[in-house]
Structure 1
Amino acid sequence: MNIALKQLKVFVTVAQERTITAAADKLFLSKPAVSMALSELEKHLGHKLFDRNNNRLIINEQGKRLLPLADELLARSHAIEQLFDQTGPVTGKLKIGSSDTVGNQITPFLLRDFRASCEHRDQTLFISNTAQICHMLSEFELDVGLVEGKVQQADLEILPWLSDDMVVACHPEHPLTKIHHLSLADLEGSEWILREPGSGTREYFLNRIAPRLEKWHQAFELNTTEAIINCAAAGLGITCLSRLAVEHAVHDNRLVILELPLDMQRQYWLLYHKEKYQSPLLRLFLQFCHNWQLSDKQSQ
C-alpha cells in the first residue's frame, strides 16, 4: 500500500468542506484532481470513506476512524517542513478558535504572553460563536477552542478554564437606572438585545435570567457584542453581556451596569478533540493556558 500525503490532505479537506467543489477551491486543485486523489485513497484502503448525498459527501464510520490519524500525519509532516525555518523550542502552526467574548477580550492577551514566553509566532485565531467553534474542532479544522458557552459534546475534551462576571447593562437614562435596590421583578416586560443562537452569551441569558422572568421581549438579535453595546447605548433596550466586554462603554458613560441580587459568574472552557494529535506545540499551549491568569491591567 502506498498512501500519499496529498491523498490524506484531500481526504481531510473534503471531510471539512463536504463537497468536491469546495475542497478543490480550498486546495487550489481542479475538481477532477480532488476526485481522483480521493478515489485512489479509497481504493488503497478498500473502503469508502464518505456517503454520497446528492452533491454532498458525508463522512462515514470508516472515514471517522481515519480522520484523526490523517490529521496527525499531516501535522507531523508540516512540523518536519518547518523544522529548520522557525526558531524557539517548538515549531508548527497553532489553530485557535475563540467564542466572541473570549476571542475579543481575553485571547489576544493570552497569545501576547504565550509568544513572549515561548518564542512562537505562528498562530491563527478564528472568532465565532461557541457552536461554530465546537463544529470546527470536531472537523479537525482547529487545534484548541476557548469558549464561554457550556458544551456537551462526546468527542471533545471539555476543561474548566477562567471565569468572568456577566452583567445587565443599559443606557444611563434608562428608567431602570432610577430604581433603588433593583430586583429581578423590575426587569419584567423589558426589551432585550441578545446574541444569536449558538452563542454562549445568549445561552447564559436563557438559562439564568429568562427563567426568572414571566415576561420579556427580544428587541434585537445581533451576532457581535459591539453591535449589541451600540444598540443598548442608543437606548434600544437592555442587554446581558460579559463585564469585560462592557467595561469600555461604561468607562465612556455610554452604558451603566444594573446591580442585581443574582450570582452572575460564568465559567469559560478550554476544548480540544479527544483524538487530536497533541504535538509538542499543542501540549505546550494547553499547559500555558492552564497556568495563565488574566490580570486586571490586561482586562482594561
Structure 2
Amino acid sequence: MNFIRSLTLRQLQIFVIACRYPSFARAAEELHLTQPAISMQIRQLEEAVGLPLFERVARKLTLTEAGERLSHHASRILGEIKDAEDAMTSLSLADSGSIAVSIVSSATYFAPKLLAAYSRQYPRVDVRFSVGNRETLLRQLQDNATDLAIMGRPPPELGTTAEPLAYHPHVLIGPVDHPLRDARRFDLQELAGDTFLLREPGSGTRAVSEQMFKQHLFMPARSVTLGSNESIKQAVMAGMGVSLISLHTLALELRSQELVLLDVNGTPVERTWQIVHLRSKRLSPTCIAFRRFLLEQAAPFLEREYAGFALQAREPAAETRLAK
C-alpha cells in the first residue's frame, strides 16, 4: 500500500483534529472550515489509505482500527514537524514560538491560571493546552503530540524526565450531613458501608484511590465509577457517597460549604504534581523558559490559593502526631 506520496500535511492536521470529536461539525468549528470541506479531506485521505478511518456508532463518529493506528502516526509526524519549526524559529529567543501543554483533568482547576500569567508575561508565545486523563497524556507523550505534561505520577513505562512542581494532597469528601463530618482521626474502615465514587480506570485519581484501599486492606461495600471530577463532586453533594479527590479541585465547594472534608487516618494522601517530557525530546528555548516558569511559580501559587483548605485538611494529623 503506497499512499505516502498522495498524503498532505493539511489532511493529517484535519484528521488529527477530527479524531477528537464525535462529529465533523465540531472539527469544522475548531478549524474554521465548513463541514463539507472536512468531509472531503477525510474522504480523500481514506481513498489514499484504501481503508475507512471512521465509522458511525449510535450517531457518533468513532475511529476504525485503521483510523486508530493512523492517528498515532499522524500525531507523531505533526509533532516532529512542530519540533523542527520550533528549532528554526526559536533558536535564540524564548519569548516567541509555540508550546503544546497537556494537563490531567484535576489540574484544570489551577493550571489555566498559571498559563494565563505566563501569557501576560510572554504575549508573543502561543500556549496551547489540552486536557485528558493520565492514560491520554501518556499516549500524547509517546506520540510526541505534546511538549510538556502536567500530571501526578511520572510514567515509568516511558523514558521521561519528571520534575516536582508542588505538593498535591488528596482528601476524602462527603456530603454536609455525613454522620462522621465532625469525627476526628477515624479509620477508613468506618466508611466500609458507604458508597465510594471513583474516577474512570486510567485516571491518576482512580489509581490513588485504589492504592489507598490496598494500603488500608479496605473494601467498600459499593463503588460507582464517574467520568469527571465535576460529576463526582455533584454526586457527593447530592448524598450519593464519598470520594477521595484532589484538594485542588475543591476550592469553590469548600468556600461555599457544599461538602465536607472527612478526617480519616492516613489523609490527606500526599502526592506531587510533576512536569513531564520525553527524555529524547529536545525542548525549544521557549519550552525551557516555560518549564522554568512553572517550576518557580506553581508551588507558591497553590500555597496561596489553597493554604486555608490544606491546613484544614492536615491540621488534625499534626495534632495526632503531637499527642503521640
Report the TM-score when normalising by structure 1.
Answer: 0.73
2:176 to 172, 175, 183: 172
Give 5+ residue unaligned stretches, structure 2: 32-37, 51-63, 308-324
1:236 to 217, 235, 240: 240
Q: Counterpart of 1:187 in structure 2: which amino acid?
A: L
Partner of residue 112, structure 1: 116
Secondary structure at the residue paired with 2:144?
A: coil
Q: Which stretch of the first structure deviates more once superposed, 8-17 or 155-164?
A: 8-17
* Contact map agreement 2:188 2:218 (CA 8 A) in 1: no
* Contact map agreement 2:96 2:286 (CA 8 A) in 1: yes
> In structure 2, do the counterparts of structure 1 residues 179 and 90 end up closer, same or farther at CA, with 3 Å as the change threshold?
closer
> In structure 2, do the counterparts of structure 1 residues 160 and 91 end up closer, same or farther at CA, with 3 Å as the change threshold?
same
Partner of residue 291, structure 1: 296
Partner of residue 90, structure 1: 95
Once the two structures are TM-superposed, the CA of residue 257 in structure 1 deviates from its matched residue by 0.4
> In structure 2, do the counterparts of structure 1 residues 159 and 12 end up closer, same or farther at CA, with 3 Å as the change threshold?
farther
> RMSD across aligned C-alpha pairs, in angstroms?
3.7
1:248 has 2:268 as partner: no
Partner of residue 157, structure 2: 153
Partner of residue 77, structure 1: 85
Residue identity (%): 18
Q: Supply the distance in 1 between the matched residues of 2:152 and 2:69 (Cα, whole angstroms).
A: 29
Once the two structures are TM-superposed, the CA of residue 281 in structure 1 deviates from its matched residue by 1.2
* Contact map agreement 2:192 2:221 (CA 8 A) in 1: no
Paired positions, count: 270
Partner of residue 139, structure 1: 143
Q: Supply the distance in 2 between the matched residues of 1:131 and 1:108 (Cα, whole angstroms).
A: 21
Once the two structures are TM-superposed, the CA of residue 111 in structure 1 deviates from its matched residue by 0.7
Once the two structures are TM-superposed, the CA of residue 288 in structure 1 deviates from its matched residue by 1.6
Partner of residue 318, structure 2: none
Once the two structures are TM-superposed, the CA of residue 277 in structure 1 deviates from its matched residue by 3.4
Once the two structures are TM-superposed, the CA of residue 229 in structure 1 deviates from its matched residue by 0.7
> In structure 2, do the counterparts of structure 1 residues 165 and 31 end up closer, same or farther at CA, with 3 Å as the change threshold?
closer
Q: Supply the distance in 2 between the matched residues of 1:139 and 1:70 (Cα, whole angstroms).
A: 9
Partner of residue 194, structure 1: 198
Once the two structures are TM-superposed, the CA of residue 255 in structure 1 deviates from its matched residue by 0.6
> In structure 2, do the counterparts of structure 1 residues 116 and 272 end up closer, same or farther at CA, with 3 Å as the change threshold?
same
Q: Supply the distance in 2 between the matched residues of 1:235 and 1:218 (Cα, whole angstroms).
A: 14
Q: Supply the distance in 1 between the matched residues of 2:192 and 2:14 (Cα, whole angstroms).
A: 49
Deviation track 1:218-256 (CA, whole Å, cap 9, x = no partner) reads: 432111111111110111101111122123212212111
Q: Supply the distance in 2 between the matched residues of 1:230 and 1:162 (Cα, whole angstroms).
A: 27
Deviation track 1:68-126 (CA, whole Å, cap 9, x = no partner) reads: 7874444433676x78xxxx95222211111011122x211221221233334511221
Q: Counterpart of 2:296 in structure 1: which amino acid?
A: N
> In structure 2, do the counterparts of structure 1 residues 239 and 37 end up closer, same or farther at CA, with 3 Å as the change threshold?
same
> In structure 2, do the counterparts of structure 1 residues 175 and 12 end up closer, same or farther at CA, with 3 Å as the change threshold?
same
Once the two structures are TM-superposed, the CA of residue 32 in structure 1 deviates from its matched residue by 7.8
Q: Counterpart of 1:169 in structure 2: which amino acid?
A: I
* Contact map agreement 2:79 2:143 (CA 8 A) in 1: no
* Contact map agreement 1:15 1:139 (CA 8 A) in 2: no
Q: Supply the distance in 2 between the matched residues of 1:158 and 1:73 (Cα, whole angstroms).
A: 24
* Contact map agreement 2:186 2:263 (CA 8 A) in 1: yes
Partner of residue 56, structure 2: none
> In structure 2, do the counterparts of structure 1 residues 57 and 209 end up closer, same or farther at CA, with 3 Å as the change threshold?
closer
Report the TM-score when normalising by structure 2.
Answer: 0.68
Partner of residue 270, structure 1: 275
> In structure 2, do the counterparts of structure 1 residues 72 and 251 end up closer, same or farther at CA, with 3 Å as the change threshold?
same
Give 5+ residue unaligned stretches, structure 1: 40-52
Once the two structures are TM-superposed, the CA of residue 17 in structure 1 deviates from its matched residue by 8.9
* Contact map agreement 2:80 2:144 (CA 8 A) in 1: no
Partner of residue 59, structure 2: none
Partner of residue 279, structure 1: 284
* Contact map agreement 2:167 2:271 (CA 8 A) in 1: yes
Partner of residue 54, structure 2: none
Q: Supply the distance in 2 between the matched residues of 1:127 and 1:235 (Cα, whole angstroms).
A: 28
